[in-house]
């Protein structure tokens, strides 16, 4: 086994939480979703935190959630879409475990994310596209890239298990 902690990174709707749950089940490890940790702490949805307190407030909570989970091992961490973009988070993540980028093309993400849904940064489609291209440079710094465009959750889990074993 190459690692005792895996962080899934990538753009919103890339499948990080879904793959994290499936991978954690297969490895019999714990799983944590950074967005869910922040929501539980604040007793608000991410969209409500953005609306009420703004993005910088949310990002500070997100950073603290990452730091709080650094000591834990045998864990799969589903990060938020912007978590790995922050340089401090990226350094902490890459120093703590294996970062895996679930790479999904923009057109597939647009199909998955409704403009009026629960994701505050997806409401403006032009901004959504700009954000996608801006964040790719950060995601490219992950240890592993998986093409998650058309792969099933099970196939992605198998690819990760194979990578971990070899």
The structure's pTM equals 0.93
User: For 112-136, how does the pLDDT look when each residue is reduced to its tens digit (9 = 90+)?
Assistant: 876 655 555 566 778 888 999 999 9
Structurally, the chain folds into a number of domains equal to 1
Which has more confidence, 140 or 2? 140
Domain housing 29: 5-165
DSSP assignments along the chain, one per residue: ---SEEEEE-STTSSHHHHHHHHHHHHT-EEEEHHHHHHHHHTS-HHHHHHHH-HHHHHHHHHHHHHHHTT--SEEEE--TTGGGSHHHHHHHHHHSEEEEEE--HHHHHHHS-TTSS-GGGSSHHHHHHHHHHHHHHHTTSSEEEE-SS--HHHHHHHHHHHHH-
Residues 79-87 have a mean pLDDT of 96
- Give the span between the Cα atoms of 106 and 26, in whole angstroms: 29
Please choose, from the candidates 149, 30, 138, 157, the residue with its C-alpha nearest in 3D space to the C-alpha of residue 80.
138
**pLDDT at residue 62 is higher than 90:** yes
* Per-chain mean pLDDT for the chain: 92
CATH number for 117 = 3.40.50.300
Residue that has been written with the tokens 């864990």 in this structure: 75
User: For 18-38, how does the pLDDT look when each residue is reduced to its tens digit (9 = 90+)?
Assistant: 999 999 999 999 999 999 999
Contact 4, 96 (CB under 8 A): no
């Amino acid at each position: 086994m190459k690692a005792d902690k895996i962080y899934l990174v990538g753009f919103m709707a890339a499948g990080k939480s879904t793959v994290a749950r499936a991978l954690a089940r297969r490895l019999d490890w714990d799983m944590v979703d950074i967005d869910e940790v922040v929501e539980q702490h604040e007793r608000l949805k991410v969209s409500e935190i953005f609306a009420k307190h703004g993005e910088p407030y949310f990002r500070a909570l997100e950073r603290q959630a990452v730091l709080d989970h650094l000591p834990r091992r045998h864990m799969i961490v589903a990060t938020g879409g912007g978590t790995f973009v922050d340089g401090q988070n990226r350094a902490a993540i890459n120093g703590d475990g294996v970062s895996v980028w679930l790479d999904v093309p923009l057109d597939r993400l647009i199909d998955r994310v409704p403009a009026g849904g629960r994701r505050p940064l997806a409401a403006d489609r032009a901004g959504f596209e700009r954000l996608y291209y801006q964040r790719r440079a950060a995601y490219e710094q992950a240890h592993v890239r998986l093409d998650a465009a058309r792969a099933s959750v099970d196939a992605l889990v198998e690819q990760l298990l194979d990578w971990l074993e070899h």
